[in-house]
Structures are given as C-alpha cells and as structure tokens.
Amino acid sequence: MKAVGLDVQAIQDFQTKFMISNLTCPNVDKEVQQLMKKADKLSSLREKYNLHITTSLTFDGDIRKKLEILAAVYKNFVFKKNDVNSWKTMSEWSIIIKLWVNIFEILFEEEDYIRATKEDAAKVLVEAKTILNSLSQYHNLDLQETKNIKVVVGQFCGLKGEFKQIRLVAPGAYMVDKWGGTIKYPINERMVDTFVDKLEQLFVFKDDILKKAENLKGRLLEDDSLFGSQSTTEDQSFLKKKRTT
C-alpha cells in the first residue's frame, strides 16, 4: 500500500465503498527486478532479448513464465519490428494473433484449464454471468453466499486489455466493476517498464481463472444427456503443453 500512498483508513474506506474484502497490490518479483536492472546495462535489444530468454531457463513456475513473456516482447522488438511498428494499420484479429497470443500461451502453459477470449464486451460479460451462476448452482449456494463471489473476465481491443469483475447484488441483478488497470502491449523499450508492473496483474488474473475453473471442472465434465451412459466425459485440455527435451 505504501507504493500507492494509501494509509490504513484510506484502505478501509476503499474496501467499504467498493465492497472489497481483500485489497491486493502485487509486487514485482525480485528476480524480475534484478533481470531488468541487468538489461538496463546492455546496449542492444538483441542482447536484452538473449538475456531474458537464457535467464528464463534457470527458473520454473510463474517466474519462468514472466521472464518468457518479457523475452517474447523483446523478440518482437528484434525480429518483428514491422509488426510492432505497423500495429495501427492492423486488424484487431492480426494484433491478437501477432502480439497477444504468445503472451497468453505462456501465461496458461502447462495448466489444465482454458478460458476463451470473446470478441465484444457483451459476450464477455455474459460469459462471466454464466460462470457466476454455474458456481452458485454447482455448490448449492444461497443468495448471500453467491453475493460474495466475484468473477473476473478480460477483453482485449487493439493494444489495450481491460478486465472487469461481475457480482450478484440481488436476484437477477448483477453489478459490473473495473478490475485492476488497463494493460497495454509494449511497442517500444520505454513501455516495457510499465508493462512489467502490469505483468503481475496478468498473473493474479490467471490464478483467479484457474481457481474458478477448478471449482467448475467437475460439473463441466458431467454428461447431462438424457440418452445413453451417465458417465463423465473424457477430460480434454485445449492448452498448449510445454515440450521438454
């Protein structure tokens, strides 16, 4: 909280106003900070890309993923300059495929769950509402318990990504709030420092998605067909699996 200048009373007021039980401001991992300092001492983008990709090989888990995401950004600076510099003339689909996809492949790599990215805000919020309702029904929650559930979804348009959370405030009435800050894909080295801070937000988002997917997984695998066997369907994963050698 010191990073954003909030005292204890301000934090409590913020939590009361927005009905937030836990206020979290994740810090940038020391491993990432140390790597950024080393990269600042290098003169070329190619050297910085090599540093990020080789350093990522020495870590596991989320630290490795964060370094790989930064390496993917520098890779575009080095090998895909035209794509980065011409983003204003690209279609939304091209921006997603050429810039965002690599980040989310790494983010959800080796996990057992997948979250589809929708094309417009309405579909994104409908998806969140469906997840919220499914969690409530699957766990047989009452109204008050359901009110405590918040579902976070993301939408990406151009270089910007925004997240929203939806919650139930009354039967049939849902409240939508902004979640976190806007994330912008870096198109030059100057923007990487800001992106590093937002990288932590992406991983909080990932953890929230996986937690809710864990809760829903059993229900989604059930065979609700009125015909044939009532056994569960085969558990399929659509996520990229990391190949090890």
**Rounded CA separation 136/143 (Å):** 9
Q: What is the pLDDT of residue 23?
A: 60
**Rounded CA separation 242/45 (Å):** 26
Q: Which H helix or E strand runs over 183? A: strand 183-184
- CB neighbour list of residue 185: distance below 8 Å, 6 or more residues apart: 73, 95, 99, 100, 103, 159, 160, 161, 195
Strands (E), 74-179: 151-157, 160-170, 173-178
Q: What is the pLDDT of residue 151?
A: 79
Q: What is the pLDDT of residue 77?
A: 92
195 closest CA partner among 96, 73, 104, 93: 73
CA distances from 84 to 15, 109, 183, 199 (A): 39, 24, 16, 19
**Rounded CA separation 3/25 (Å):** 9
The alpha carbon dihedral of 232, 233, 238, 239 has a sign of positive
Q: With a cut of 50, which residues of the chain have pLDDT below it?
A: 1-4, 112-119, 223-225, 227-241, 243-245
Q: What is the pLDDT of residue 133?
A: 77
Q: Which residue has the tokens 């279609």?
A: 91
Q: What is the pLDDT of residue 69?
A: 93
For residues 179-213, one letter each, b for 16 or more C-beta atoms within 10 angstroms of the residue's C-beta and e for the rest, the string is bbeebebbbeeeebeebbebbbbbbbbbebbeebb
> SS3 of 188, please?
coil
Q: What is the pLDDT of residue 64?
A: 92
- According to DSSP, the β-strands at 160-170 and 183-184 are antiparallel
175 closest CA partner among 20, 67, 58, 39: 20
Q: What is the pLDDT of residue 237?
A: 43
Q: What is the pLDDT of residue 233?
A: 44
Domain extent listing, the chain = 116-213
Q: From the CA atom positions of the chain, what is the Rg in Å? A: 20
Any idea how long the chain is?
A: 245
Phi and psi (nearest 5°) for 167? -145, 155
Q: What is the pLDDT of residue 126?
A: 65
Beta bridge partners of 166: 151, 176
Q: How many C-beta atoms lie closer than 10 Å to residue 165's C-beta?
A: 19
Q: What is the pLDDT of residue 234?
A: 47
Q: What is the pLDDT of residue 39?
A: 93
Span 46-74, pLDDT tens digits: 999 999 999 998 998 899 999 999 999 99
